[in-house]
Amino acid sequence: MGGFKKKAAKVMNGIHIGSVGFAMVLLVGMAIIIVINVFMRYVLNTGIRWAEEVAKLLMVWFTFIGMAVGVKQALHISLHLLPKNLPVKLELFLVFLKDIVTLIIGLVFLVYGIKIVEFTSKSIMPATEWPSSLLYLILPITSILIISEALMDILRIDDDPRGIDALFLKGEK
């Protein structure tokens, strides 16, 4: 089983690194589109017709990819209402409960994400004439990432998010 866990951890780390890189590309693309559109609108008195629509699409995708990355890195808001010195069994149970809740949230995102993609597949966005479902397609994608991270935690497969942080922060000290 140890070989499976190592391979699963390696695959999940690769997916996570790819997700972070993809989020960076989305953010840069959104910034470039907005800057160019603002320049054109206020300096050249014209604008890019599709700029706001594409920037919104990139922002939504960036946000949901960021959410999945936040699940992996445990970056989401948490409340520390209980004392720090809990019995080990209680602490392990609470961590397991958190992982189960995360898994359930991921499953809800998957089910309703698929439904909203299907529902919006027949409409189009006005400026780009792309299917509206493209805006919501990120929901099932990120739900799969969230579900897989929750399962990794439930199965206690350590994919060491600190190693991933070190990859992105190697220039900083």
Residue 104 has a pLDDT of: 96
Q: pLDDT by residue for the chain (173 residues), tens digit each?
A: 567 878 888 888 888 888 989 999 999 999 999 999 999 999 999 989 999 999 999 999 999 999 998 888 777 776 667 677 788 898 889 889 989 999 999 999 999 999 999 999 999 999 999 999 999 999 999 999 999 999 988 888 876 666 666 666 665 55
Domain boundaries, the chain: 2-163
β partners of residue 124: 131
Residue 167 has a pLDDT of: 65
Let me know: does 3 contact 24? Beta carbons within 8 Å. no
